[in-house]
Amino acid sequence: EQSQKENMVWQQQILMEMLNEMPIIQLVLDRVEADDIIAMITQSPKYKGWQKVIVSSDKDFLQLLDGETVLYRPIQKKAWTKKDVIEEYGISPENFVIARAIAGDKSDNLAGIQGAGLKTISKRLDFLIEDKMHTLNTVYDHCAAAGNKLKFFERIVEGWNTVETNYKVMNLTPPSISVQGRQKINYALDNFEFELNATELKKCSVEHGFGSYDWSELMAKLRGIVEKNKQSA
């Protein structure tokens, strides 16, 4: 397990080193989760009208999907759109974080409400499919009013502290980034130099055992990025 972790760190270091030679922006903030940075970028007015693709297997990102943002989940090899989320779960992306807060997430050790899976939630709280963002208060009031009808509602009311805690952890709208952090990210985006150091990139690939890799297609795309950004500057 330790060697596997060390290998992952090694791969990450190499990747960051090679990305530094490409016209690709890397954004890192101390004590800020990558999830929040990604959420800020997808919601930024700077990229309004752009096609945004998030690459991750984390379901938390489904809450960010809209007409411009999709999620590519590499394990599934599938791109999820807002329409896909609604068809699969019967819950709109705007309200997906509420449903997830109720259901919990075993992969993140977040306990949910007993008997409240996403399918049951979409059935019992069918208004979560609506194309508008509901609040935790709306859901709590609905469950409290219907509490004596079904155990499902009663359990949610009784475990409401768990729901609120999960929601705080999972919610990415708005992202948990300070004003200073936002300023740093925006400065980096506005002042990034789109450059390609092909020589250093090839040298780095040889050093780390990727020398036989055919870089021609990638290099052509990277040069295209550089030229495109020179024209728009």
| Predicted pLDDT of residue 1 | 64
In percent, the amount of the chain with pLDDT more than 90 equals: 83
Beta bridge partners of 110: 105
Which backbone phi and psi does 41 adopt, to 5 degrees? Answer: -65, -45
In percent, the amount of the chain with pLDDT more than 70 equals: 98
Beta bridge partners of 188: none
Quick check: 43 and 62 in contact, CB under 8 A? no
| pLDDT per residue as tens digits for the range 65-83 | 999 999 999 999 999 999 9
Q: Out of 45-59, 86-100, 200-214, which region has the weakest mean confidence (pLDDT)?
A: 200-214
Strands of the 69-73 sheet, one edge to the other: 52-55, 69-73, 78-80
Higher pLDDT, 64 or 9: 64
Quick check: 46 and 52 in contact, CB under 8 A? no
| Predicted pLDDT of residue 149 | 75
How far is Cα 86 from Cα 22, in angstroms, rounded to an integer? 37
| Predicted pLDDT of residue 147 | 66
| Predicted pLDDT of residue 130 | 96
Query: Is the pLDDT confidence value at 102 over 70?
Result: yes
Mean pLDDT of 169-197: 95
Burial class (CB in 10 A: 0-12, 13-18, 19+), 126: exposed
**Closest residue by Cα to residue 101 from 178, 172, 176, 177:** 172
The mean of the pLDDT values for the chain is 93
* Predicted confidence band of residue 232 (pLDDT cuts 50, 70, 90): confident
Q: Out of 18-27, 111-120, 134-143, 202-211, which region has the weakest mean confidence (pLDDT)?
A: 202-211
The rounded radius of gyration (Å) of the Cα atoms in the chain is: 21
| Predicted pLDDT of residue 183 | 96
Give the SS3 label for residue 39. helix
Which backbone phi and psi does 55 adopt, to 5 degrees? Answer: -110, 105
Query: Is the pLDDT confidence value at 150 over 90?
Result: no
How far is Cα 50 from Cα 47, in angstroms, rounded to an integer? 5
Quick check: 65 and 79 in contact, CB under 8 A? no
